Each structure stands twice: as structure tokens, then as C-alpha cells.
Amino acid sequence: MTSQKCWICGSDATTGEHKTKRSDLSDVFGFVSQDEPLYFHDQKSKNRHLRSFKSKLLHSSARICSKCNNERTQPYDRAWEELSNKLRNHNPKLKPGSIVRANKIFSSNSKKRMLDAYLYFIKLFGCHIVESGALIDLEPFSKALLEGRFHPNVYIKFKCGALFAGAPRTGMSDLETVQITKSGRCIMALWHYYIDGLAVEVIYIEEGYEHPELKGVWHPRFGTGRFVIGAA
């Protein structure tokens, strides 16, 4: 096996990040086994049996070292785990137009915890870039993760009501490059993360560009923990 480098810190890398968070999968599906598999669909194939949440099908091919995959990004994973859980179990149930306040979600340090949850999506975004080969500079992504700061050009948007085959959708879309220059540089790209019908849209757009898709986005630099749920 050829040695590969971690795209975040540059060390030797052996692991791949889970595409959909394991805690999110077990919250939604409970338990999978040899006898009770799930069915997995992606853009390459449909109805593949999934018999374990450790399955290769669920891992990104982008390499990350174990330090980055574990201790370095653990606060980010944990913050998303909590946010995901609270949004899905929100009372009253979230619908398009619902207003969420981070300080009602996180009992303390809500500003920092929202930034951490956002950084979880920066980690997945970097994996998407590596995997797809899209011409987007990875350096600001690794810098954000290493320094625990936001990426100036990545926005997120929360939506609800996403369906797949009539049931609440869970999983992750591929990276979609919305706008590319003649030389192939990507100006705008986006993808979605779905968990039981809750959708997080993650958007990269270069400085100085505008797009209607940016309506309703949240970014840590806005300095507010308030966001509005959109329609998926």
C-alpha cells in the first residue's frame, strides 16, 4: 500500500472519515447486522447491503491521520452530534420557517459549540474535495480545522423535510460544482448532508461572488446563533 498523507496536517494517514456520522446513523437506524442489513444507495449503485456501520461504503476515500480523525476533530464531531440530536428532536417539531437559537440548543458556550459543529462540515467538505478532485484550494480548510477558526468562504444552511423514496432521507450527496472558470477552478460548489429528513446544505463560494443559493445561510462571522430552517 502506498503511503498517503493526511490532507489536514500532512502526516502519514491511514484512516478515512465516515461520510455520515456513525452516531447519526445509529440514532436513525438503531442497529445493523449480517441478518438485518440496511440498503445503501449512491450515485454509482443501488441496493447494496450494508451490514455494519464500519462498512467501507460509508467511508470517504480521502485520507486523514488518526490524530486528525480522533482527538483533533473530536470537539467538532461532538458539537454536531448534539446539534443534530437536538434539531431532530426539537419541540415543537421543526418545519420550514422555524427559528432556532443556538443558546437554546447548547446549555453553555453556544457560540463556540456552533463554530465547532460548523467545523465538522469543514472536515467533510475537505474530504469531498480530495475525493472529487475539484479545483478548490484545500489550504483554508486544513487551516480552519488546525486553528479552530471558520473558513471565510464556506456557509451552511439548515433545512427540513428531505425525502428519499417517500421516507425521511439520510445520507450525503456528492459534491456539486455549480460554477467553474474556463481553467477549471471551482468558484462555487455545494453538497448536502441528510439525517432523518433534516438537511444541512454546505456551500463554498469564492470571495466577491453572489448566488441566490446564499439566501438563508449561516456563517460564524455573522455573530448570531439564530438561524431559520429552510425547506428541503
Which residue's CB is nearer to Zn ion, number 9 or number 180? Answer: 9
Tell the smallest beta-carbon distance from residue 156 to Zn ion (Å): 23
Cis peptide before 92, with omega less than 30 degrees from 0?
yes
Task: Report residue 203: phi and psi, to 5°.
Answer: -125, 130
Tell the smallest beta-carbon distance from residue 125 to Zn ion (Å): 16
Tell the smallest beta-carbon distance from residue 6 to Zn ion (Å): 3
- Asked whether 138 and 175 are in contact (CB, 8 A), the reply is no
Task: Report residue 159: phi and psi, to 5°.
Answer: -140, 165
Which residue's CB is nearer to Zn ion, number 65 or number 199? Answer: 65
- Asked whether 86 and 68 are in contact (CB, 8 A), the reply is no
DSSP codes of every residue in 180-228: E-TT-BEEEEEEEEEETTEEEEEEEE-TT---GGGTT-B-GGG---EEE
Which residue's CB is nearer to Zn ion, number 126 or number 230? Answer: 126
Tell the smallest beta-carbon distance from residue 5 to Zn ion (Å): 8
Tell the smallest beta-carbon distance from residue 3 to Zn ion (Å): 13
Residue ranges binding Zn ion (CB under 5 A): 6, 8-9, 11, 65, 68
Residue 5 CA to residue 91 CA, distance in Å, equals 44
Which residue's CB is nearer to Zn ion, number 35 or number 71? Answer: 71
Which residue's CB is nearer to Zn ion, number 11 or number 85? Answer: 11
Which residue's CB is nearer to Zn ion, number 146 or number 163? Answer: 146
Residue 40 CA to residue 49 CA, distance in Å, equals 6
Tell the smallest beta-carbon distance from residue 68 to Zn ion (Å): 3
Which residue's CB is nearer to Zn ion, number 5 or number 49? Answer: 5
Tell the smallest beta-carbon distance from residue 22 to Zn ion (Å): 19
Cα-Cα-Cα-Cα torsion 206, 224, 80, 167, nearest 10 degrees, comes to -80
- Asked whether 150 and 19 are in contact (CB, 8 A), the reply is no
The closest of 96, 98, 95, 102 to 230, measured between CA atoms, is 96
